[in-house]
C-alpha cells in the first residue's frame, strides 16, 4: 500500500512548507518562552551558588534580600561570627541603579561585598578576567553583560570606580547584570542619594536651631557626620563549618536575635517559588495561548485541505477505501505539518536564543516535551477534519 | 475472472417514509451478461441515479433481488455484510469526469485498487501497467493526472474501473463532456474491454450520439424499466 498522506504532502508541498514554517515560528516562540523561564530559574540558582553562602541572615519577617527589602545593622555579623558552627560571615548590600560609563547608562544591580580572597561569601565565585576586589574603595567587578571592560572607569552616584575584574552569568532576578563594589562604598552609595540631597540635608540640619546651637560649637558638624554614615546592610551571608548542619546553625542564629535566617533550599524556594512565580504564570499563560493558536492553525489548514478533497474522498470511499485509511491519511498530514513546524521551531529557537536580552536556556527535555505536545495538538486539531471526511457519502461520487 | 454478469429483479427503492415518501424505483428488472454493454436511458427524475447507487452498493434497495456473478447481494431486505469490499472487488465505476486522485501518478491511480484489496505494490503496479497498456496510455504511467489530456484521463479512469476485474462496471454519463468522435471512441473502448475482460457494463446516458451503438437498452420511466432492442450500430 502506498502512503496517501505522504503523496498528498509531496503534491501540495508548497502549502505544507508555508504553513509549516508559520507554525514553526510559533513553536519557536513557545520553546523560547519555556527557555526564558528555565533561564530565570537557572540565573537564580547561579546567583545563589555564586553567593558562596550556606545561610542568608536577613531582617525579621522579610523574604530578603532578593525578594523583599531587608535591613540589618552592619555589626550584626560580628555576633554571628562568634556562634558555634559559623565558619565565615560577611555583610552584603544589594541595590538596583544606573551605572554610568562614559556617556552610557547601564541599569545594574550593585552589590556591596567585603573585599577579600577566594571563598569570601558575596564575591563572585569565578572571574572571566582580572582579579577580585582587594581594596576597600573604588574597585569594581562587573558582569560582562554590562559591556564594561577591564580598566574602564565607571560612575556610581558621585564616585568613580575602576573595573578590575569581569564575571559571567551574574544577574539579578530581573535580569539586570551585577556590579560588585567594596561594601563601605556601597553602603555610602546606597545611603547618599546624590550631591543635591546631601546639600539639602546639610542645609536643613544647619537651619535646625536644636541641632545648630551657637553655644555648642561642633554639634552641627557632628550631627552631619553621623547622618552621612550608613550603618545598615541588606543581609549577612554565612558559611557553615564542615560537620555542622546549616539548619541547626540557622535555628541558633534566629534564636539569638530577632533575625530571619534562610537556608539554601529555602532561598531557592523564595526565588523560584515567589519571585519568579509571577513571570512563570505569565509564561504559562503565553504557552497556553500559543498552544491554542497553533491548534487553531493546524485545525484550519487540515480542515481546509480536507474540504478541498471531498470529491477525492468520496471516490476513495466508493472504490472501497476503509474509513480508517482515510482518517489515517488526514491524521498523518496533521502530524506531518506538526513535524515540519517543530523542526522549524527548534532551529529558529536555537538560532535566536543567543541574541535574546534574557538568558534563554533550551533544555532537551523541554524540546522532547514540546514535540509530544505539538503532536498531541495536531491529533486534536485533525479531529474536525477527520469528522468531516468520515461524513462524506461515497454516493456523492455518483452524479445526482 | 467474472462470470455471469449482473441480474436484478423487482428492485424497489423508497426514500423517506409516511406522507413524504418518494418511490424512486418501483419495479426494476435488468440482466446484463458478461461481455455485454447495455444502455440505461430515461428522462430526468426517472430514477437513473437511484438505480446506479443501488447497483453500486452505496444505497440499499427497499426490496427486490440483485445477483452479481453468482453472489446474491440483496434479497428482499437482506443484504450481504460488507458492501465496501463488494464495491472494491466486484464493481467498477466510471464517472462523468475522470475523478482521478490528483496527488497520485497515473500508474498508482490505477494500482491503488489492487493495493486496497491487499495486493503488493509491485503486483498492483504490474496489473495497472497491463491495463494502461491495453488502453494505450502506458506511456503516461509516471505522469500526474493534471498533465494528461481529458481523453487520456478518461482512459486511465477506465483502466481503474477494470483493474480488479469486476463482473460489472457502472458508467455514469461517461461521454457527457466529449464531442461525437471521442464519445464514440470511449464506447468502442468499453465494448472492447467488456469482451476482453468478460465484464458486464451498464452505461447511464443522455447522449444521443452513442445511443445507437447499444444492442440492448433499458429505458427507465417513473421508476420502472422496459427493455428495448437497440440499433447496435457496429463500429468500423
Ligand atoms: N435522497 C433522496 N431523497 C428523497 N428523494 C430522492 C432522493 N434522491 C432522489 N430522489 C427522488 O427520486 C426520484 C428519482 O431521482 P433520481 O434517481 O435522481 O433520477 P434521475 O437520476 O433519473 O434524474 C426523483 O423524484 C427524486 O426527487
Ligand atoms: Mg440523476
Cβ–Cβ gap B116/A400 under 8 Å:
no
Residue A164 pLDDT > 90: yes
Per-chain mean pLDDT for chain A: 88
Cβ–Cβ gap B102/A400 under 8 Å:
no
Q: How many CB atoms lie within 10 A of CB A394?
A: 24
Report the relative pairing of strands A72-73 and A232-233 from DSSP bridges.
antiparallel
Work out which ligand 1 atom sits closest to the CA atom of B44.
23
Q: What is the pTM of this model?
A: 0.81
What DSSP string runs through B129-195?
HHHHHHTT-GGGTTS-GGGS-HHHHHHHHHHHHHTT--SEEEEESTTTTS-HHHHHHHHHHHHHHHH
Supply the CATH classification number for the domain B6-15+23-229: 3.40.50.300
What DSSP string runs through B73-115?
EEETTEE-S-HHHHHHHHEEEE-SS----TTS-HHHHHHHHHH
Cβ–Cβ gap B99/A12 under 8 Å:
no
Q: Does B173 contact chain A (CB < 8 Å)?
A: yes
User: How far from chain centre, in Å, is Cα B54?
Assistant: 12
Contact residues, chain A, for B145 at CB < 8 Å:
none
Mean pLDDT by 10 residues, chain B (236 residues): 78 92 94 95 92 93 92 90 92 92 96 95 96 94 95 94 95 85 90 93 91 94 90 73
- Residue A219: the pLDDT is 79
Cβ–ligand 1 contact at B24 (below 6 Å) = yes
Question: What pLDDT band is residue A400 in, cutting at 50, 70 and 90?
Answer: low
Q: Take residue B120 and report the three cell numbers written for it.
A: 503488493
Higher pLDDT, A180 or A220: A180
Question: What spacing in Å lies between the alpha carbon of A395 and ligand 2's midpoint?
Answer: 12
Which residues, listed in sequence order, are joined to residue A89 by a DSSP beta bridge? A238
Note the ipTM here. 0.92
Residue B220: nearest ligand to its CA? 1
Q: A310-338: per-residue pLDDT in tens?
A: 999 999 999 999 999 999 999 999 999 99
Q: B79-127: per-residue pLDDT in tens?
A: 888 999 999 999 999 998 899 999 999 999 999 999 999 999 999 999 9
Q: Could you say which of B84, B108, B111 has the minimum Cβ distance to residue A320?
A: B84
Cβ–ligand 1 contact at B20 (below 6 Å) = no
Q: Could you say which of B58, B101, B160 has the minimum Cβ distance to residue A395?
A: B58
Residue percentage of chain A with pLDDT more than 90: 52
Cβ–ligand 1 contact at B46 (below 6 Å) = yes
Question: What spacing in Å lies between the alpha carbon of A318 and ligand 1's midpoint?
Answer: 19
* Distance separating alpha carbons of residues B97 and B150, to the nearest angstrom: 9
Report the relative pairing of strands A259-263 and A104-113 from DSSP bridges.
unpaired
Question: What spacing in Å lies between the alpha carbon of B47 and ligand 1's midpoint?
Answer: 6
Q: Take residue B76 and report the three cell numbers written for it.
A: 428482499
- DSSP state for residue A146 in the 8-state scheme: G
Q: Does B16 contact chain A (CB < 8 Å)?
A: no
- Residue A124: the pLDDT is 83
Cβ–ligand 1 contact at B45 (below 6 Å) = yes
* Distance separating alpha carbons of residues A270 and A71, to the nearest angstrom: 18
B213 within 8 A of B184, measured Cβ to Cβ: yes
Contact residues, chain B, for A2 at CB < 8 Å:
104, 108, 111-112, 115, 121
Question: What spacing in Å lies between the alpha carbon of B45 and ligand 1's midpoint?
Answer: 6
Question: What spacing in Å lies between the alpha carbon of B20 and ligand 2's midpoint?
Answer: 20
Q: Which residue of B has its CA nearest to A315?
A: B99
Cβ–ligand 1 contact at B44 (below 6 Å) = yes
- Residue A278: the pLDDT is 83
Question: What pLDDT band is residue A227 in, cutting at 50, 70 and 90?
Answer: low
Q: Which residue of A has its CA nearest to B100?
A: A312
* Distance separating alpha carbons of residues A298 and A378, to the nearest angstrom: 6
Instruction: State the average pLDDT over residues A192-209.
Output: 73
- Residue A216: the pLDDT is 77
Q: Give the gap in angstroms from C-alpha B236 to the nearest C-alpha of chain A.
A: 32
Q: Give the gap in angstroms from C-alpha A322 to the nearest C-alpha of chain B.
A: 8
* Distance separating alpha carbons of residues B130 and B189, to the nearest angstrom: 15
Residue written as cell 523583599? Answer: A68
Amino acid at each position: 500500500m502506498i502512503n496517501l498522506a505522504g503523496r498528498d504532502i509531496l503534491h501540495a508541498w508548497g502549502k505544507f512548507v508555508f504553513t509549516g514554517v508559520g507554525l514553526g515560528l510559533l513553536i519557536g516562540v513557545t520553546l523560547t518562552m519555556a527557555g526564558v523561564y528555565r533561564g530565570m530559574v537557572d540565573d537564580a540558582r547561579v546567583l545563589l551558588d555564586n553567593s558562596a553562602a550556606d545561610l542568608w541572615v536577613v531582617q525579621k519577617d522579610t523574604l530578603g534580600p532578593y525578594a523583599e527589602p531587608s535591613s540589618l545593622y552592619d555589626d550584626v555579623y560580628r555576633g554571628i561570627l562568634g556562634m558555634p558552627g559559623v565558619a565565615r560571615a560577611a555583610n552584603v548590600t544589594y541595590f538596583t541603579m544606573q551605572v554610568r560609563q562614559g556617556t552610557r547608562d547601564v541599569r545594574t544591580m550593585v552589590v556591596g561585598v567585603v573585599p577579600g580572597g577566594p571563598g569570601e561569601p558575596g564575591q563572585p565565585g569565578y572571574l572571566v578576567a582580572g582579579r577580585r576586589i582587594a581594596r576597600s574603595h573604588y574597585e569594581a567587578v562587573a558582569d560582562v553583560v554590562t559591556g564594561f571592560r577591564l580598566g574602564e572607569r565607571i560612575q556610581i552616584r558621585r564616585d568613580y570606580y575602576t573595573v578590575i575584574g569581569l564575571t559571567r552569568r551574574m544577574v539579578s532576578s530581573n535580569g539586570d547584570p551585577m556590579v560588585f563594589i567594596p561594601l563601605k562604598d556601597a553602603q555610602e552609595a546606597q545611603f547618599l542619594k546624590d550631591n543635591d540631597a546631601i546639600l539639602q540635608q546639610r542645609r536643613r540640619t544647619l537651619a535646625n536651631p536644636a541641632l545648630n546651637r551657637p553655644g555648642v560649637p561642633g554639634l552641627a558638624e557632628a550631627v552631619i557626620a553621623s547622618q552621612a554614615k550608613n550603618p545598615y546592610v541588606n543581609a549577612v551571608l554565612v558559611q557553615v563549618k564542615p560537620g555542622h548542619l546549616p539548619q541547626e546553625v540557622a535555628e541558633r542564629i534566629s534564636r539569638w536575635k530577632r533575625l530571619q535566617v534562610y537556608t539554601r533550599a529555602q532561598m531557592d524556594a523564595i526565588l523560584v517559588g515567589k519571585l519568579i512565580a509571577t513571570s512563570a504564570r505569565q509564561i504559562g499563560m503565553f504557552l497556553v495561548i500559543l498552544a491554542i493558536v497553533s491548534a487553531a492553525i493546524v485545525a484550519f489548514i487540515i480542515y481546509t485541505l480536507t474540504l478541498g478533497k471531498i470529491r477525492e474522498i468520496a471516490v476513495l470511499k466508493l472504490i472501497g477505501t476503509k474509513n480508517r485509511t482515510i482518517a489515517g491519511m488526514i491524521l498523518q498530514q496533521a502530524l506531518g505539518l506538526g513535524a515540519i513546524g517543530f523542526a522549524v521551531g527548534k532551529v529558529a529557537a536555537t538560532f535566536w536564543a543567543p541574541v535574546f536580552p534574557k538568558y534563554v536556556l533550551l533544555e532537551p527535555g523541554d524540546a522532547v516535551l514540546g514535540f509530544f505536545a505539538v503532536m498531541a495538538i495536531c491529533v486534536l486539531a485533525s479531529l474536525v477534519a477527520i469528522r468531516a471526511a468520515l461524513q462524506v457519502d461515497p454516493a456523492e461520487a455518483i452524479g445526482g | 475472472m467474472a462470470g455471469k454478469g449482473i441480474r436484478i429483479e423487482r428492485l424497489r427503492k423508497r426514500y423517506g417514509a409516511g406522507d413524504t415518501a418518494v418511490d424512486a424505483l418501483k419495479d426494476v428488472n435488468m440482466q446484463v451478461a458478461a461481455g455485454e454493454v447495455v444502455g440505461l436511458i430515461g428522462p430526468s427524475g426517472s430514477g437513473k441515479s437511484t438505480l446506479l447507487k443501488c447497483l453500486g452498493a452505496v444505497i440499499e434497495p427497499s426490496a427486490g433481488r440483485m445477483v452479481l456473478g453468482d453472489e446474491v447481494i440483496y434479497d428482499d431486505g437482506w443484504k450481504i455484510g460488507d458492501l465496501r469490499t463488494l464495491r472494491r472487488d466486484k464493481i467498477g465505476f466510471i464517472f462523468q469526469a475522470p475523478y482521478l486522485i490528483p496527488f497520485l501518478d497515473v500508474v498508482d491511480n490505477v494500482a491503488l485498487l489492487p493495493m486496497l484489496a491487499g495486493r503488493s505494490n509491485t503486483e498492483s503496479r504490474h496489473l495497472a501497467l497491463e491495463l494502461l497498456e491495453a488502453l494505450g496510455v502506458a506511456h503516461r504511467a509516471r505522469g500526474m493526472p493534471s498533465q494528461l489530456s481529458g481523453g487520456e484521463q478518461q482512459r486511465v479512469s477506465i483502466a481503474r474501473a477494470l483493474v480488479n476485474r469486476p463482473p460489472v462496471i457502472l458508467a455514469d454519463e461517461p461521454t457527457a463532456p466529449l464531442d461525437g468522435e471521442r464519445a464514440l471512441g470511449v464506447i468502442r473502448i468499453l465494448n472492447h474491454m467488456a469482451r476482453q475482460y468478460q465484464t458486464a457494463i451498464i452505461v447511464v446516458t443522455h447522449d444521443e450520439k452513442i445511443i445507437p451503438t447499444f444492442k440492448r437498452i433499458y429505458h427507465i420511466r417513473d421508476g420502472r424499466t422496459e427493455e428495448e432492442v437497440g440499433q447496435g450500430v457496429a463500429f468500423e
